[in-house]
Structure 1
Amino acid sequence: MRVAVVGATGNAGTAVLSALHKTPEVDSILAIARRAPDIEKAPYNACDWASIDIGGAVDEDEARADLRAAFDGVDTVIHLAWLIQPNSQRDLLRRVIVLGTAHVAQAAAEAGVGHLIVATSIASYSPDSGGEPRDESWPTGGIPTSHYSVDKATQERFLDDFSLAYPQITVTRIRPALIFQALASSEIQRYFLGDKVPLHLLSKGTPPVLPLPEDLDTIQAVHADDLGTAFAAAVVTRAPGAFNICADDTLTADSVATILGGSRIVRLPTALVRTALAASHKTGMVAMDEGWLDMGVSVPVMDNSRAKTELGWQPQHSAADALRELIDGMVKGTGGHSIPLRARDRDHATIPGTSTPISHGGESNAGQSSTEDGADGEFGRHTDQNADRKLIELYLSDHLTGATAGLERIERMEEAFADTPVFRQISEVADKIRRERALLVQIIDDLGLKRKPYRQALAWLGEHAGRVKLNNRIISRSPMTLVLEAELMRSAVMGKLGGWQALHDNAETMGLDPTIFATLQEEAWQQIATLDEVHEYARRRAFRHDISTFGPQNSEES
């Protein structure tokens, strides 16, 4: 059979692809995502791929038409796409979760697909304070103060109506608990905690106390691999209805404290924690809002018996082991080979078409010197003795400063313009710039040079200060902003191109591989061309009242 997976690059999607590859009954897989992963890496390398926006920034007709064409010849559609960030764009989140589900389901019906599997969530359930395990018959009214829960409950209502309107289509609902795996560690940190929570410090020791809200008694989780096998089992059995998917054990305050190394638990009034979380979210210190806490203390404990009986499914990982793997991955900054699953820091220093080591000798000075704090290390052992260390160090440090500012700007664009048809282009450029900055750090370290971090800090501050421009708008976004941001990023990439050219021509002198910088020059030209597309989109609508820059666009407008 042929299976289409919508939302195939995230935490759940990656695990589902892996499980489907191991399922003999599945002959071929069509993977669909707005942004393509590294299709040379598993599990993405054995799929057909399509880039489709299910409704975030295109209108209903275009989304359904693209999906309908993609679903031609498909036996089962698995719908996994959802969005929880940016939190500030409430309409965008609803369009993806609620309307996106409607577009996928309607397109599947129009294409003659016989089986639709949708990932709903534990978040769709109504509040329960009893503590007894609840089966799938528990009401799915959601938690009113959690926008994610409200949207997932609305998604359930749509599926109720869809099942009545299309009785010939088997509809399966998978309701997972929190989904943990090492590959999703950096993604989960970004989406829920944010980059200001220093989880990497857990490698230095156990936190002395673990503050928890007094009403948070249990947390349910499932390892992503177990979730993937549940979806694969649903594909094979074609069982209708809803299925709770969670590990057999639950996480308690004591078990979480043990996993963290024996921290002392401090119980705080839930209202106090909620107020603190709301304030932290509003100031940008934490990515998730207080609604996530409301959901965590209110949802029922799920009973997974039906999945075991009707799907023949058994979890192979405990919730404790899944959380332990997740925390270990957060400490290390672990990630995968898609933009949503990208690793946190230096581990992402890979450029398509290149490989490490970058020096001719295959040896690195990394670790021989503390380049971040300015301590001198051994200059590259394969560097020409006539090379001027101070000038090379200053030049590379200046380009790292520029890369820092450029990355801050493009990531801000990635967040601010997620509801435009050019989000994919912006996000793909951002991913390349992240990789290139990490590679530049690696070059500086391998040569035993100083990074001069105070320069990067000033660049970060300067870029953030530069955002304080009104463009004649105080609350709403100005359509002119995207025009200006695209122009600034094009200029920054042109400056970066000059850096790669200089490094290419002096690579032999520094003992580096010049082919890397030839590849990076080609990448820079491609980024400029992509930013030209972004600029063209923005400039054609920024100065008019009759065409919107943000929100769903039809094919003629975009």
Structure 2
Amino acid sequence: MSSSGKRIVVTGATGNVGTAVVRALGSDPEVGSIVGLARRPSRWKTEFVAADVARDDLRAVFDGADVVIHLAWLFQPTHRPEVTWRANVLGSIRVFEAAQAMRVPSLVYASSIGAYSPRDDDHPVTEDWPTHGSPKAAYTREKAYVERVLEAFDRSHPRMRVVRVRPGFLFQKAAAPEQRRLFGGPLVPGKLLRPSLVPILPDIPQLRIQTAHTEDVADAYRRCALQDVKGAFNIAADPVLDTRALARIFGAKPVKVPAPFVRRAREELGWTPRYSSEDAIEAFLKGLREGEGFPTEPLKPDVGRGHELATGVGERP
């Protein structure tokens, strides 16, 4: 990385998306330095600052930054909405305010397709579809609320370039153990998720999943950070997955959706995914079976894989 390039601060830099974003930025000659913020220390050898966006003073870290990429988000505990609200909503507001106070020129925020209001059909939506979320889950309520906050923030600070990235489900091999711990728990052993052991899948007509490989989405964040763009971008890979598509991936028998609407990202960012949505799911399944992981606390491998991982990963992103 060049010492004369842009200084970029990444919150949530040790998670599934954050590690990939740091790698993507580290390979770009326009980037001079990267500072990763994380609540927990990391063994990954890059520049990290231990900070909690919900509590710690962020202004010193943001001082001199050209871009802040805000990825930090707390998924658990789902039964303690006051905890996730403090971290996700109030923490995001603190990030925005600190970036403005330090006159950071550009802010890139990790929103989600979960922020979109539901609709009753399968027609794709553009970035101007309402983002009121769904009342059924804390995740969608919080994403929708932060969208409202950021809309007001953007109007009040027109000199700051504000970008929102709205991806679907994100998968990569290294993040599979973390995602199993977050959403499947210890009762879903990775070795059981082999295609040969999943002979059938329930055919749920309403099931639709938009996914992307984490590395592709990290490339989109890199482009948003370095290109002169504003506004919201939908990020997803083809095809949209239903139960029949998932059955093909699993080699199972299942007991019509439009392509994802990512035209703006393709035209304005010049972004196209290298991996299909099926590739992303297959990478996730492979990571579950092998307990891959990565040398950061959120992505730590399953028990028994730590030594192999620590000696097999490069020292720089």
Normalising to structure 1: TM-score of the pair?
Answer: 0.53
Alpha-carbon deviation of 1:212?
A: 4.8
Q: Does 1:244 align with 2:215?
A: no
The one-letter code matched in structure 2 to 1:101 is: S
| Cα gap change, 1:243 to 1:148, in 2 (>3 Å) | same
CA contact (8 A) 1:124 1:153 kept: yes
Equivalence for 1:38: 43
Amino acid at match of 2:95: V
Runs of 4 or more consecutive aligned structure 1 residues displaced over 3 Å after TM superposition? 349-352
Task: Give the Cα separation in 2 of the matches to 1:77 and 1:154.
Answer: 20
Distance 1:235 1:49 in 2: 19
Q: Could you give the per-residue CA deviations for residues 202-242 of structure 1, whole angstroms, max 9, x where no partner exists?
A: 348332221253421x2100101101100111111131100
1:183 aligns with 2:183: no
> Contact 1:75–1:114 at 8 Å: present in 2 too?
yes
* 1:8-47 matched pairs, under 5 angstroms: 8-40=13-45, 45=46
- Asked if the contact 1:244/1:304 (under 8 Å) is kept, the reply is yes
Match of 2:253 among 255, 260, 264: 264
- 2:177 equivalent to 1:172: no
Looking at structure 1, the residues matched to 177 and 117 of structure 2 have their Cα atoms a distance apart, in angstroms, of 30
Greater relative CO (CA pairs within 8 A, separation 6+): 2
Determine if contact 1:5/1:32 at 8 Å carries over to the other structure. Answer: yes
> Structure 1 pair 211/351, CA: closer, same or farther in 2 (3 Å)?
closer
Partner of 2:279: 321
Residue 294 (structure 2) pairs with residue 336 (structure 1): yes
Deviations 1:340-395 (A, max 9, x none): 1111131124798xx79xxxxxxxxxxxxxxxxxxxxxxxxxxxxxxxxxxxxxxx
Percent identical pairs in the alignment equals: 40
1:424-503 to structure 2, matched below 5 A, reads none
Write the mapping of 1:179-258 to structure 2, written as runs, cut at 5 A.
179-203=170-194, 205-216=196-207, 218-258=208-248
CA deviations 1:303-351 (Å, max 9, x no partner) are 1000111111111110001101111111122211111111113112479
Distance 1:12 1:53 in 2: 17
Aligned to 1:131: 122
Instruction: Specify which structure has the higher proportion of helix.
Output: 1
The residue type paired with residue 85 of structure 2 is R
Q: Return the TM-score normalized by structure 2.
A: 0.92
Deviation at residue 39 of structure 1 after TM alignment: 2.7
Measured in 1, the distance between the counterparts of 2:44 and 2:125 equals 40
**2:3 paired residue number:** none
Cα distance change, pair 351–151 in 1 and its aligned pair in 2 (3 A): closer
User: 3-state DSSP class of the match of 1:213?
Assistant: coil
Contact 1:135 1:302 in 2 (8 A): no
8 Å CA contact 1:220–1:301 kept in 2: the answer is: no
Given that residues 194 and 285 in structure 2 are in contact (C-alpha distance below 8 angstroms), is that contact kept between their aligned partners in structure 1? no
Give the number of the structure whose alpha-carbon radius of gyration is greater. 1
Distance 1:331 1:232, change over 3 A: same
TM-aligned CA deviation for residue 248 of structure 1: 2.6
Shift of 1:302: 4.2
Deviation at residue 127 of structure 1 after TM alignment: 0.2
For the aligned residue pairs, the C-alpha RMSD in angstroms reads 1.9
Shift of 1:123: 0.4
Tell me which residue corresponds to 1:115: 106
Q: Which runs of 5+ in 1 are unaligned?
A: 267-299, 357-558
Amino acid at match of 1:348: G
Q: Relative to 1, partners in 2 of residues 1:67 and 1:182: Cα closer, same or farther, differing over 3 Å?
A: same
SS of 2:109's equivalent in the other structure is strand
CA contact (8 A) 2:292 2:309 kept: no
Matched, 1:91 2:49: no
Matches within 5 A, 1:290-439: 302-349=260-307
Q: Give the whole-Å Cα distance in 2 for the aligned partners of 1:143 and 1:180.
A: 23
Task: Verify the 8 A CA contact 1:119 1:173 in the aligned structure 2.
Answer: yes
Note closer, same or farther for the CA distance 1:161–1:321 as it changes in structure 2 (3 Å cut): same
Determine helix, strand or coil for the equivalent of 2:297: coil
The residue type paired with residue 28 of structure 1 is S
